[in-house]
Amino acid sequence: MTTETQIIQRLRRIATHPAARNLQDDAALLDGFVITHDSIAEGVHFFPQDPPTSVGWKLVAVNLSDLAAKGARPVAALLSLTLSGDDEWDLAFIEGVKAASESYGIALIGGDTITLPAGAPRVLGLTAIGRAGANTPARSGGQPGDRLWVAGTLGDSAAGLALLTDDAEAVGVLVDVYRRPVPLLEMGQALAPQASAMMDVSDGLLLDLQRLCAASGCGAEVELDSLPLSRAFIAERGNDRAARLFAATGGDDYALLAAFPPEIDPAVTLSLPKKPTLACIGKLVAGSSVMLTHGGEAIPLPERLGYEHRTEPPPMGDRG
Amino acid sequence: MTTETQIIQRLRRIATHPAARNLQDDAALLDGFVITHDSIAEGVHFFPQDPPTSVGWKLVAVNLSDLAAKGARPVAALLSLTLSGDDEWDLAFIEGVKAASESYGIALIGGDTITLPAGAPRVLGLTAIGRAGANTPARSGGQPGDRLWVAGTLGDSAAGLALLTDDAEAVGVLVDVYRRPVPLLEMGQALAPQASAMMDVSDGLLLDLQRLCAASGCGAEVELDSLPLSRAFIAERGNDRAARLFAATGGDDYALLAAFPPEIDPAVTLSLPKKPTLACIGKLVAGSSVMLTHGGEAIPLPERLGYEHRTEPPPMGDRG
């Protein structure tokens, strides 16, 4: 065990309150409130050259995605802002926070503002508070036999990031998805009442699924052909095995991954929003491994399941 | 107006929800919960050579002090941890968080863990959630005529910091106060029901009093001789005007500053804990200035009222 894993284990041993859910979940559940905190750091979660409005939007969106994954309704947020010395950047960042907050109805109610030593990378954090619905699905509630469903499409953001890496001036739908992820709040609220487990896909489907499996004490089978891809993604990256593995491991999707008992077809049973679409991608099974098929044929798992290096090992709250 | 002030003003214009209290307060008040978030940065709020257990303790204590200032009872906390690459440091920091959390009965229920780029200063944050009492005094409730009371002593921490600046190996009561501030939770809960305004003294009495006056729309008169000093402070720094001005501007006190209507003597009316002691230091008056006397004689305000540079201008939540 690395010492870094020891640090997470140490935190878990301290966090014995039931609201903590053993720090295995995207969010805490306290007296009807779902509460999450995610920070993003320059050079790790965003690039210095990213538009500051996008960074502000993204900070809010990744936290709202955690609320979405618990079926919560956004209520209030506290912003942890480090003044960077570049006032134009800071003001534009705040505009991004404001735009996302207003779009999704979360009220800024507090936080703090600190200065950092000169030249230090920006570290920006948000605490998001939502009102829990009748059921707040944990990562740990999955059972062998449950069907796995994904709301939203996979790989768009990673494809957008790849475009930007090649050409910092790149534009288009995929770049927009990377810069301005959309938290699937309505879908999360619609799925939560009957989901046995749910989380958002922030670090890559396969990596996040592995975490859901670990928390639920089971394994999973996923059919690569069933992963939901957007037209824009297919136009850019294609639709073959390599493209689908890219989508399965890309990260920054802010899609939702939910497990439902096999007798429930959420697309039929639940009153869902029209968008995004919902796709059944496989099922939970006994064991502890994630197994992959493509065209019905078993294929090995890729070496890299997602953006593990960013927050290695499985952290409190992960990336999103 | 500096652009930095514009940033705070911009945030205030966004934060229109009543729970935000116009971002003028130490904490937000949402559905019976008092919620605060304070971050601390290496090289700004603590030194790289500070013992990591003290840093962890202090992060919890400064947030609990904000709950104390609102008369709230600690419930739960979310930790925003940046892994520094120095596992020993990180584990010791967590021990400090644990020690303070257990001492004051706040449960760690979530947060996140991120890595920073190599060499970046640590930035550590905590969201603290408390249960509000029957009254949650704001900074803004003071009225001309109210008497000003301070719970706890002033200047100890700044004196401890001065000792450490001279000699990194310094030890003693004052150094302990600097490293392990004590949030005055019981006192805050006892004072809150009848206080017209309350805040914690984190950046220096005079600076924080100026903020209370600005929020309350009044001025203040303070008699320097009435400031509560500890025996250890007097033994180290003396008891003359210079020493008392040092105590009035030192910061990191985590004392409580409360305004009470003149007909209420909290030391008589309220059921207070035996410690810390409570001292009447002056009163709120009409106007907008803080005026100082020493031995009954008016003296000019010192140029520096507190640790304004650390979080200049008056920020969301200030330093503590």
pLDDT digits 0-9 by tens, A81-127: 999 889 899 999 999 999 999 999 999 999 999 999 989 999 999 99
Position B1 scores a pLDDT of: 53
Alpha carbon distance B46, B30 (integer Å):
31
Q: What is the 3-state secondary structure (H, E, C) of B253-280?
A: CCEEEEEECCCCCHHHHCCCCCCCCEEE
> Is A129 close to B30, i.e. CB distance below 8 A?
yes
Residue A316 and residue B110: Cβ atoms within 8 Å? yes
SS (H, E, C) chain A: CCHHHHHHHHHHHHCCCHHHHHHCCCCEEECCEEEEEEEEEECCCECCCCCHHHHHHHHHHHHHHHHHHCCCEEEEEEEEEEECCCHHHHHHHHHHHHHHHHHHCCEEEEEEEEECCCCCCCEEEEEEEEECCCCCCCHHHCCCCCEEEEECCCCHHHHHHHHHHHCCCCCCHHHHHHHCCCCCHHHHHHHCCCCCEEEEECCCHHHHHHHHHHHHCCEEEEEHHHCCCCHHHHHHHCCCHHHHHHHHHCCCCCEEEEEECCCCCHHHHCCCCCCCCEEEEEEEECCCCEEEEECCEEECCCCCCCCHHHHCCCCCCCCC
The answer on pLDDT for A314 being more than 60 is no
Which residues does chain B have within 8 Å of residue A311's beta carbon, measured at their own beta carbons?
Answer: 113-115
Q: How does pLDDT run across A120-175, given as a tens digit for each residue?
A: 999 999 999 999 999 999 999 999 999 999 999 999 999 999 999 999 999 999 99
The DSSP output letter for B72 is P
Per-residue model confidence (pLDDT) at position A1: 53
pTM of the complete model:
0.93
Distant-in-sequence, close-in-space partners of A220: CB < 8 Å, separation ≥ 6: A148, A209, A212, A213, A282, A283, A284, A285, A289, A290, A291
Mutate to test the interface with A, among B123, B136, B318 (most CBs of A within 10 A): B123
> Between A and B, how many CB-CB pairs are < 8 A?
246
Cβ-based contacts of A82 with chain B (< 8 Å): 39, 41, 123
Chain A residues with CB-CB distance to B74 below 8 A? none
Domains of chain B: 3-131 (3.30.1330.10), 139-311 (3.90.650.10)
Range A197-226 average pLDDT? 97
- Residues of chain B contacting A28 with CB distance shorter than 8 Å: 76, 78, 109-110
pLDDT of res. B274: 87
Q: Specify the pLDDT at position A24.
A: 85
Could you read off the pLDDT tens digit of each residue along chain B, which spans 320 residues? Answer: 566 678 888 999 999 999 999 888 889 999 999 999 999 999 988 989 899 999 999 999 999 999 999 999 999 999 999 998 898 999 999 999 999 999 999 999 999 999 999 899 999 999 999 999 999 999 999 999 999 999 999 999 999 999 999 999 999 999 999 999 999 999 999 999 999 999 999 999 999 999 999 999 999 999 999 999 999 999 999 999 999 999 999 999 999 999 999 999 998 888 899 889 899 999 999 999 999 999 999 999 999 998 764 443 333 434 44
CA distance B233 to chain A (A): 29
> The sheet that has B28-30: what strands, in order across it?
B28-30, B33-41, B123-131, B73-83, B107-115
Question: Which pLDDT does position A170 carry in this prediction?
Answer: 95
Residue-level pLDDT at A318: 43
